[in-house]
Amino acid sequence: MGCLECGTCCQETEMLLSKKDIERLQKKGFSIKFFARNVKEGYITLRNLNGHCVFFDVKNIKCKVYRDRPIGCRLYPIIFDEAKGVIVDKLCPAHRSWTENNKKVVGKKVIRLLKKIDREATQRSSS
């Protein structure tokens, strides 16, 4: 159940950002225009640059903000699929190392995070 540090999850990311994720990255000196994009109805995701997350260091295959990365990145490869619910993303080469119990525990965190992001998006779009 360990990260292989392959960078697969950093390719073509659609990672949703919470208000705390945004604030944490801004405190590190990054402009929201650099790392984020508005997608729809108040939702904000990480930006991609040349097919990968703006924080992905292609040469060293590392996250430039690993200690401060978004919560969704920390919970990956457990994701929410609209059709299937909480799943282990099969794009992750380490997906087979996750047990049902691990998926269940982390899945609860994913659901809480998504509810929080939904509330924040609703607030943004109504203001």
In the chain, how many domains are there? 1
Is residue 91 domain-resident?
yes
Residue 32: how many CA atoms within 13 Å on its side-chain side? 12
Is residue 19 domain-resident?
yes
Is residue 27 domain-resident?
yes
The model's pTM: 0.92
Which range of residues forms the domain containing residue 102?
A: 8-126
Q: What is the pLDDT along the chain (127 residues), one digit of tens a residue?
A: 677 889 999 999 999 999 999 999 999 999 999 999 998 889 999 999 999 999 999 999 999 999 999 999 999 999 999 999 999 999 999 999 999 999 999 999 999 999 999 999 999 988 7
Is residue 37 domain-resident?
yes
Is residue 1 domain-resident?
no
Is residue 103 domain-resident?
yes
**DSSP, residue by residue, 60-119:** TTEETTGGG--HHHHHTTEEEETTTEEEE-TTSTTGGG--HHHHHHHHHHHHHHHHHHHH
Is residue 3 domain-resident?
no
Is residue 111 domain-resident?
yes
